[in-house]
Structure 1
Amino acid sequence: MDSLTIRETFLRFYEERGAQRYSSAPLIPNDPGLLLTIAGMVPFKPYFLGDATPPNPRATSYQKCVRTNDIENVGRTTRHLSSFEMLGNFSFGDYFKREAIRWSYELSVEHFGLDPERIWVTIFETDDESEQLWLEETDIPLERIQRVGVPDGASRLDASDNFWSTGAAGPCGPCSELNYDRGPEWGQEGGPLVNGERYLEYYNLVFMQQEQDGDGKVLGDLPAKSVDTGLGLERMAVLLQDVPDVFATDLFTPLIAAAEELSGVRYGDDAERDVSLRVVAEHVRTSAMLIADGVLPSKEGRGYVLRRLLRRAVRHGQLLGLDLAGGTQLLVPMLDAVLQTNLQMYPELAKQRELVTRIAGAEERDFAARLRAGLDRVDRALEDVRAGDGATFPGDVTFELHDTFGFPVDLTAEIAEEAGLVLDRDRFEALMDEQRQRARAGAKKGGGGVPVEVYRQAADEVGPTEFLGYEQLTAEGTIGALVGPGGALEGASEGDSIEVVLGRTPFYAEGGGQVGDHGVIETETGRLRVVDTQPAIEGLQTHRVVVEAGEVRPGQAAHLVVDGERRVATARSHSATHILHATMKEVLGDHAQQAGSLVQPGRLRFDFPHFEPVSLEQLGEIERTINARVLRDPHVTTEVMSLDDARAAGAVANFGDKYGQVVRVVTIGEFSKELCGGTHVPSGATVGNIYLVREESIGSNTRRIEALTGADAYRYARHEMQVAEEVARLVDTPTTEAVARVQALLERLKAVDKELAKTRRASLSQDAKRLADEATREDGVAVVIARVDGVVGDDLRTLASEVRGHLATQGVVVLGAATEDGKAQLICALTSDLADAGVEARPILHPAAQVVGGGAGGRGDLAQAGGKNGSALDEALKVASAEARSAVRGGA
């Protein structure tokens, strides 16, 4: 059973039992306690906690997940992965243990075909109820049920043995796992407690009953007993495809093959090189998922996770003999293989193809350039350690490799381990602590890729930047430093694009969603146009400028002028964002917390967690409320206080934002109080009009609203009025009656479409009868192979089914069509008696799909395929014809 079929079998099983199907949520969770989506339940956490009401008390989903807590094992074993797919079914206060146990067993045996005599179960050590239910609801005997507890000295937060949590504050509970005996060739018998390799865990049932804090302490019971289950797609593929490990499944064999082709190394010839092939395949797959979901490489957080994966892949590419420092590419060709392999599973990868390849390619070029020099430094350090008969790789060198060459510490640790050494992590962490604050901000490079060390030097010379922009838009200052991609500059002249560091400035540096200021810097010898203002490292900001006239040097006195009109328009948008935020939570609920924003002159973007589209009525209420609040001209005040005092005062801290111990609190009227370092209008009425222009989904359970403010809102509203007037003119009716008139026209159009569809169906029926009459015979089996251009999508499927229905004997039907955009579509349909004889549709279609540059999918008697090379359709049909006739002969 291929992976797509495994997924569909699972989801359909639970849909038939009343569950609502969900697609995968992004890997960036709407949960400040989690770095990445690590389990299928993460998007549903508010439902388990009772913070939100689900649209359906039962759910089923497929969810891509990333966990890197044991990244060093990926590649070294044949089952550890950093990314995997969890197939889940969930009950939010509906059914509980009995149904979860009964259905998991039924799915395993009756739908996946697992041998019931080889299924073993583990339960939490004190869970007598689950043991009894396994005995009542399934055929599993007591001797194949094993109890597992929390290891001695571990907290429930740390434990993975049959008491489950996300590893952070939130829902938790005991669990029960299904394991499959892979046979004596996998080692000692005795169940999963004896041998986890032989008795492979494939399905985990978590009985969500309690809530824990961030330290793993159980706080009490959840509002309702719930169920969270997860079946590992990759592990089930191992079992159902009867292969030894995940890298031999259909999810990874194309990736291993791509790595073989790039490197010239054959998988299976050498154990160490096999490790590298697995690392490359697995890490590039995970990286593609992360980038497609908006994660970008950086020095901290989820961006650091991505960077570790990419750089570990590059390093193992180098171990495979690829001359990466010399320009040979690894990541981009591998990403092509990832995208092709996972296109049907994750269509969003295709939409983000350019972003994924661009980001990964840039990271590879950057790291490959450092790799050779960094490895030379490693070799020198290893020689020094061996010369001194030492057993520890020095933390100072580890820090140097991290800071200068960009080596993730895990990569250095892995190299040290290969040499038989232990990394001095204590010394490394001490050195990291000394620069952590500056390094976090420094992870954001300048527009020209300025090394962070240059900013550190500027900070030493100039000191922290003093921001004057809350009170004034002009100031006098001194050019502290000029910075270019190569480092500090002694001067710059007309046409140069550089960065300017100032000791004091009225320019606001981008932060908290608000864009950086523009404006002008003038010295006695030159004029600089400020095109952006950004944070450089902790406490230091940089002004990105173009020298418009003359020249400029460090140390010159400067007159600083912020673009006032742009700043005021931005401030309007920022205050409007706060007003919108407060109103959203009132209308939609407290869960509609800001999860991202962009504040620009005259416009704003607001992201928030929500579980369904915001209705037109709700949008109308939000818009009316925010404008009514603006018209009442609420006071806008700012205060600086400690973080604890701000929280005590009820100030809202936004997800994803970071705050120091001293914070700025912006209060608007009686309805909004937020921690915010941005700029705002002096009074509410200054915001002007606020016009909501778009509401849309940006991912599972995450929505986005875009709005215009001030003059931009007026211009948009005026344009909308003009459009309405033009529509009224075109349908020859007054504006007040235009909607009714358009609705009437649409009804007429719908009726016409209905008649056309009826005619189309009649035509397809005639074509089906003709094609069936023209069928040839192969060993008494009817074979129909035909090209039917113009019949695509559902019509192609319908036509194939009708042709099959007209066949009087066993038969196989393969139809192909070219689309208007030059692609190809194919469908294969078998009569049920032929399918019962062992012939399958997908193997017939798969070689033809490859001819047109695609793949095939489907169930036993029906398969479909598509490819981008429509010009090869005739050849594909010839291949399908040969495959069909061969299959018929084999089946017969």
Structure 2
Amino acid sequence: MDSLSIRNTFLDFFVEHGHRRYESASLIPQDPTVLLTIAGMLPFKPWFMGDATPPTPRATSYQKCARTNDIENVGHTTRHLTFFEMLGNFSFGDYFKREAIRWAWALSVEHYRLDPERIWVTVYEDDDEAEQLWLAETDIPAARIQRLGAEDNYWWTHAAGPGGPNTELYYDRGEAYGHAGGPAVDDERYLEFYNLVFMQHELDDAGNVLGQLPALNVDTGLGLERMAVLLQGVDNVFETDLFAPLLARAGELSGTAYGEDAERDVSLRVIAEHARTSAFLIADGVLPSKEGRGYVLRRLMRRAVRHGQLLGMDIGSSGQQLLLPMVEQVIEQMRPSYPDLERQRSLITRVAGAEETDFGARIRQGLERVDQAITSARSTGDDAPAFPGEVAFELHDTFGFPIDLTAEIAADAGLSLDRGEFDALMQQQRERARAAAKKGSGGIPAETYREAAAQVGTTDFLGYRGLTAEAELGAIVTAGGLLHTAGEGDEVEIVLPRTPFYAEGGGQVGDVGLLETPTGRLQVTDTQEAIEGLIVHRARVVAGEVRQGQPVEAHVDPSRRVATARSHSATHVLHATIKEFLGDHAQQAGSLVQPGRLRFDFPHFESVSRDRLAEIEGSINERVLRDPHVHTEVMSLDDAKKSGAVANFGDKYGQVVRVVTIGEFSKELCGGTHVPSGAKIGTITIVREESIGSNTRRIEALTGVDAFGFLSKERMVAEEIARLVDVPSDQAVERVGALLDRLKAAEKELAKLRGANLSQEARRIADEASREDGLAVVVTRADGLAHDDLRRLATEIRNHLAERAVIVVGTATDEGKAQLICAVSADLAAAGVEARPILHPAAQVVGGGAGGKGDLAQAGGKQGDRLDEALQVAAGEARAAAAASR
């Protein structure tokens, strides 16, 4: 059975048993506690946690997943992968253990036709019920049921969230694969293929049980790759139809045949596996970077390039390519099941090509540094030499080597890595990442929001139809819990059963405005969706007192909302136009929509020229002036995708979505607010285009009144420049350019004259210098010189004196500060006389410090009036240092 049939057999089985089928969600999860989608249940987590009401009690899905905790094992074992596909069936408070066990057995034996005599089962050590159900609902004997501890048979995401005991199905592949005795003895012979989790507990970050979930749930996962191993009769995942074509392509590119050499096979596996993962990550909007998901992707791609090097490929200089043709093979092979790969072909191939070219060049330089460090470590004579953590950090910071790649290279050379030293150097960056990952919503626990949701229900958003509404004050939320009343000055979060306030989402900022009750008034400063379906109004009581249950009049700030709507519609127009000018790869990768301004991030591999930006800006405004109709409609997610609506990377969509169409050129899934027609946007002007990271650009623009104000100021500046240079406005640029050319020529001539004068002055000072016991100590003051000229004067005096000379020159700046330079002749420097210690006491006199090393140093301080005193101190230090060197 091929992999496509395995997937369809699973989904069809559970659809027949009353489950709604769901397509795979993105590898970029909505859950902020995890970096990537690591399990099939993750898109359903709000339903398991009771944070949202599931639209169906039963679901089945195929889900692409990515995990890198075992990345070092990829290629070395027969089944470790960073990307895999999980087939799952789920119950949200509907069926529980009995049905899950019965159906898992029926699917395995009757539909996949696995030999029932070779199936083994494990259950959690305390789960008597699961064992009894296996015996009652299936034909498996007690002898093939084993109890294991929490490490094997208790499942959770290893982050705060749901969990519970599980039972797993294994298949005995025969004595050729290992020892008899069941999965408790040998999990290579007995291959796990299906995991049934009985989701019933809520856990904290450490895995401690906090309590029961609102309902008893079922979460299962059947690994497509592992089932392919069993049903295709092969030894490992790399021999299945999912990987065999990729291994063949990697072999063609590297001139290596799979199966001929064990070490080369490892590299071919790594290349094939990492290329597959990389293609899927890029397709879902992940781009190479130094942090987060981007770091994971870059690590995978660079690890693949490294293994290409090990196979003898010269990537980056000779024109040889590896990643680019490999991801093209992934797209060809997987696009029938994942059409997004084809839609994102341009993005995937351009990112892969750019990254391998960049790292191919870097890796040669980095490997030279690695070889130096290895040679140095071995020369110490230690029995267990270590690769320096400082060098590992340098490789990471300068050459882009992921630390794990450095560790692998060091291990291949027989060295351990001083990870402690590396970790210390990376500590600050890691703390920033952790702080960002744990950033919460005002410090209010999720449980408090759930309590508010249980009390009020989900919030009905009315803001598409108007900016005011009447409601009842449903809940007053604080970090300390729910309140019945709040008084003037209190900062709280208000929950209403319905609201016209838009909660921040899709890049659009939350609304602000007023909430008024018969006894008080609140100023709303922000609106957020605290948990799925629950909108909270962050507010301050500015008058009187408010109480739970009171009638509320909600008023959104109208001018701010309209200005924000202009920016959001402008973002859609900009998005469509950028893709037309730069290519389909320039998909939205992040946005910020504010009143009168917008920020738009997109993948691209070079800066956008001024001329091209002008063309884009002109096209945007031309489209807006045509006054295209802005149409919104609600439809199913499947219908929206079929209609050609664009789903933006990382945005959250349910099964029912809102589609915003602008004219004939833009159609996007979007829950934000918009103007009714294009002309309402007004003017759009691009004010900035810049890089915000590897392969990612950012455009900032202004809209409406803000754009007009910006352009008005720009016009006034242009007119003033034209007045100053005494030409009409349309000739100002040419005239300013000519003046600048003249200024540069004059500055060049002036520098030439200044240099000649400095040389002449240096010769004069050197000629007048006297020596005591052969030592020349020159101390002089040269006010009015810039730092570079001061440095040049000191070094030229030293060059004229040649031997046994110390020169200290100083200047007082117009700001009242002091600067000093010390230069030491080569012979004194060789004898141990250093410039910085000579200047250090002088720097303290002027209230500053000294820097530099060897024969040249500089110092500065705020007390320029003490420069003469400092110069004398430096002279004394120079004589003492020279005397000590004899």
Q: TM-score, normalised by structure 1?
A: 0.54
The aligned counterpart of 1:872 is none
Q: Pick closer, same or farther for the CA change 1:261–1:50 going to 2, 3 Å.
A: same
Q: CA separation in 1, counterparts of 2:458 and 2:320?
A: 48
The aligned counterpart of 1:669 is 514
Matched AA of 1:241: Q
Q: Is the 8 A contact 2:504 2:510 kept in 1?
A: no
Q: CA separation in 1, counterparts of 2:399 and 2:10?
A: 46
Q: Pick closer, same or farther for the CA change 1:244–1:168 going to 2, 3 Å.
A: same
The aligned counterpart of 2:327 is 335
Q: Deviations over 1:650-691 (max 9, x none)?
A: 49997999xxxxxx9995323844399xxxxx9643543758
Matched AA of 1:244: D
Q: CA separation in 2, counterparts of 1:363 and 1:82?
A: 19
Q: Deviations over 1:481-527 (max 9, x none)?
A: xxxxxxxxxxxxxxxxxxxxxxxxxxxxxxxxxxxxxxxxxxxxxxx
Match of 1:364 among 356, 366, 369: 356
The aligned counterpart of 1:283 is 274
Q: Is the 8 A contact 2:95 2:217 kept in 1?
A: yes
The more displaced of 118-127 and 696-705 is 696-705
Query: Which secondary structure state, in structure 2, belongs to the residue aligned with residue 688 of structure 1?
Result: helix
Q: Percent identity?
A: 61
Q: Deviations over 1:819-878 (max 9, x none)?
A: xxxxxxxxxxxxxxxxxxxxxxxxxxxxxxxxxxxxxxxxxxxxxxxxxxxxxxxxxxxx
The aligned counterpart of 2:478 is none
Structure 1: runs of 5 or more not aligned: 151-158, 442-581, 593-617, 632-645, 658-663, 677-681, 718-892
Displacement, 1:705? 2.0
Highest Rg: 1 or 2?
2
The aligned counterpart of 1:300 is 291
Structure 2: runs of 5 or more not aligned: 436-448, 471-488, 496-502, 516-522, 529-555, 567-629, 638-646, 658-668, 683-886
Displacement, 1:51? 1.5
Q: CA separation in 2, counterparts of 1:28 and 1:77?
A: 27
1:373 has 2:225 as partner: no
Query: Which secondary structure state, in structure 1, belongs to the residue aligned with residue 79 of structure 2?
Result: coil
Q: Is the 8 A contact 2:393 2:422 kept in 1?
A: yes
Q: Is the 8 A contact 2:505 2:672 kept in 1?
A: no
Q: How does 1:578-597 map to 2 (within 5 A)?
A: none
The aligned counterpart of 1:43 is 43
Displacement, 1:70? 1.1
Q: Is the 8 A contact 2:316 2:356 kept in 1?
A: no
Q: Is the 8 A contact 1:22 1:61 kept in 2?
A: yes
The aligned counterpart of 2:388 is 394
1:688 has 2:527 as partner: no
The aligned counterpart of 2:16 is 16
Displacement, 1:440? 11
Match of 1:715 among 680, 683, 695: 680
Q: How does 1:653-668 map to 2 (within 5 A)?
A: 668=513
Match of 2:251 among 256, 260, 271: 260
Q: Is the 8 A contact 1:211 1:219 kept in 2?
A: yes
The aligned counterpart of 2:464 is 623
Q: Deviations over 1:364-419 (max 9, x none)?
A: 11111101000111111111111113421110010000000000111111111222
Query: Which secondary structure state, in structure 2, belongs to the residue aligned with residue 13 of structure 1?
Result: helix
Q: Is the 8 A contact 1:260 1:267 kept in 2?
A: yes
1:89 has 2:89 as partner: yes
The aligned counterpart of 2:141 is 141
Displacement, 1:701? 3.9
Root-mean-square deviation over aligned CA pairs: 3.6
The aligned counterpart of 1:738 is none
Q: Pick closer, same or farther for the CA change 1:710–1:179 going to 2, 3 Å.
A: closer
The aligned counterpart of 1:33 is 33
The aligned counterpart of 1:424 is 418
Q: Is the 8 A contact 1:163 1:175 kept in 2?
A: yes
1:210 has 2:50 as partner: no
Q: CA separation in 1, counterparts of 2:307 and 2:494?
A: 48
Q: CA separation in 2, counterparts of 1:590 and 1:282?
A: 45
Displacement, 1:28? 0.6
Q: CA separation in 1, counterparts of 2:354 and 2:434?
A: 21
The aligned counterpart of 2:121 is 121
Q: Is the 8 A contact 1:651 1:673 kept in 2?
A: no
Q: Pick closer, same or farther for the CA change 1:700–1:434 going to 2, 3 Å.
A: closer
Q: Is the 8 A contact 2:316 2:358 kept in 1?
A: no
Displacement, 1:250? 0.1
Displacement, 1:420? 2.0
Q: Is the 8 A contact 2:202 2:209 kept in 1?
A: yes
Q: CA separation in 2, counterparts of 1:686 and 1:256?
A: 56
Q: Pick closer, same or farther for the CA change 1:209–1:688 going to 2, 3 Å.
A: closer
Q: Pick closer, same or farther for the CA change 1:656–1:624 going to 2, 3 Å.
A: closer
Displacement, 1:111? 0.5
Q: Pick closer, same or farther for the CA change 1:418–1:684 going to 2, 3 Å.
A: same
Q: Is the 8 A contact 1:695 1:705 kept in 2?
A: no
Q: Deviations over 1:722-774 (max 9, x none)?
A: xxxxxxxxxxxxxxxxxxxxxxxxxxxxxxxxxxxxxxxxxxxxxxxxxxxxx
Query: Which secondary structure state, in structure 2, belongs to the residue aligned with residue 175 of structure 1?
Result: strand
Q: Deviations over 1:111-160 (max 9, x none)?
A: 0010000000000010000000001111111111011113xxxxxxxx4x
The aligned counterpart of 1:66 is 66
Q: CA separation in 1, counterparts of 2:381 and 2:126?
A: 51
Q: How does 1:559-574 map to 2 (within 5 A)?
A: none
Q: CA separation in 2, counterparts of 1:210 and 1:436?
A: 30
Q: CA separation in 2, counterparts of 1:672 and 1:114?
A: 61
1:274 has 2:274 as partner: no
Q: Is the 8 A contact 2:167 2:195 kept in 1?
A: yes
Q: How does 1:400-799 map to 2 (within 5 A)?
A: 400-434=394-428, 621-625=462-466, 627-628=467-468, 649-650=492-493, 668-670=513-515, 672-674=524-526, 684-688=558-562, 690=565, 693-694=631-632, 698=647, 701-702=653-654, 704-705=669-670, 715=680
Matched AA of 2:324: V
Match of 2:347 among 355, 359, 368: 355
The aligned counterpart of 1:797 is none
Query: Which secondary structure state, in structure 1, belongs to the residue aligned with residue 337 of structure 2?
Result: coil
Q: Pick closer, same or farther for the CA change 1:418–1:686 going to 2, 3 Å.
A: closer
Displacement, 1:216? 1.1
Query: Which secondary structure state, in structure 1, belongs to the residue aligned with residue 170 of structure 2?
Result: strand
Q: Pick closer, same or farther for the CA change 1:712–1:392 going to 2, 3 Å.
A: farther
Q: CA separation in 2, counterparts of 1:36 and 1:8?
A: 25
Q: Is the 8 A contact 1:51 1:591 kept in 2?
A: no
Q: Is the 8 A contact 1:280 1:316 kept in 2?
A: yes
Displacement, 1:268? 1.0
Q: CA separation in 2, counterparts of 1:58 and 1:688?
A: 41
Query: Which secondary structure state, in structure 2, belongs to the residue aligned with residue 78 of structure 1?
Result: coil
Q: Is the 8 A contact 1:3 1:251 kept in 2?
A: yes
Q: Deviations over 1:84-124 (max 9, x none)?
A: 00000001111110110011011101100100000000000
Q: CA separation in 2, counterparts of 1:648 and 1:101?
A: 50
Query: Which secondary structure state, in structure 1, belongs to the residue aligned with residue 272 of structure 2?
Result: helix
The aligned counterpart of 2:307 is 316
Q: CA separation in 2, counterparts of 1:98 and 1:440?
A: 41
Q: CA separation in 2, counterparts of 1:203 and 1:440?
A: 33
Q: CA separation in 2, counterparts of 1:74 and 1:20?
A: 34
The aligned counterpart of 1:112 is 112
Q: CA separation in 1, counterparts of 2:214 and 2:28?
A: 26
Q: Deviations over 1:260-312 (max 9, x none)?
A: 01001011111111111000000010011111111111111111111111111
Match of 2:190 among 164, 180, 199: 199
